[in-house]
Amino acid sequence: MDIVTAKRQFLEYIEIEKGRSLLTVRNYEHYLDRAFSEMKARNVKDITDEKLREYRLSLNRSAGVKIKGQTPGTMKKNTQNYHLIALRSFLKYCRKRNIEALTPDAIELAKVGARHLDLISVEELNRLIKSPDLTTTKGLRDKALLELFFSTGLRLAELCSLNRDLDLSKDEFSIRGKGEKIRVVFLSGEAKDAIRAYLKVRKDMEEAMFVNIARNAVDGRLTPRSIERIVRDCAIKAGISKKVTPHVLRHSFATDLLSNGADIRSVQMMLGHANIATTQVYTHVTDAQLRDVHKKFHSKR
């Protein structure tokens, strides 16, 4: 089968039958386009072991993301794996549809080291949440935004999608996350109080929960980039030298639960992780506690 037709059918399959988001579909298309271009593949059977080997070498030698003021290194192993996973999924689809194709098992993912978590201390977290100026509308918005991130563990895109009609008489609400999956997240008293204070000063008719406020005028829903900038600026104001992002607050949410005794399955459900292996990266936070327990209770001879 020609590669263009096979790719189109595969992308339609993961969108409709597998329920992948449009962002995921676009990412897969980008990764596949690069692979097919470098392999000069016009048909599915043009993807051979030799071309796969050359493609992997090309990925491994590619420049990484350019950061201003820094010399770009090579592409990270995790990023290489995104490309390879897309190609492997495509080949699996072809074999499933009885289209002659290279076996997906021929694609081995690059080995990556243990994932490093960017974390802030409890004291830094408290300073961060207290940093907004509550005498301004923007400050009230930023306070509500930070409290909501820490209370729910929402992803950045999920928080962006929220509307102001949230029912604050309840301690929970449903959110549609990755893969269109719906899960329940929970509101702390602090988060509800912060949201109420923020909404109380809103005089506009925008449906979005978090809006851009310029000179006390509302100018549409906040974008993910805008929220990242707000979190970063609050961290600077709080005197935190580490890089703080919305995802760092999600890390803080998970580690706070685990360090206070929550079981990993519950944390997995609250984070919306499809695979518990993704959640297990957080379990290292209990190591110090386990060490203290061992020292306190073991071998009292």
Considering 178, 232, 237, 284, which one is annotated as catalytic? 178
**Selected catalytic residue, list 83, 143, 155, 192:** 155
Active site residue 247: yes
Catalytic residue among 28, 93, 198, 282: 282
Q: Report the amino acid identity of residue 262.
A: A
Q: Is 155 a catalytic residue?
A: yes
Among residues 92, 164, 247, 284, which one is catalytic?
Answer: 247
Residues acting as catalytic residues:
155, 178, 247, 250, 273, 282
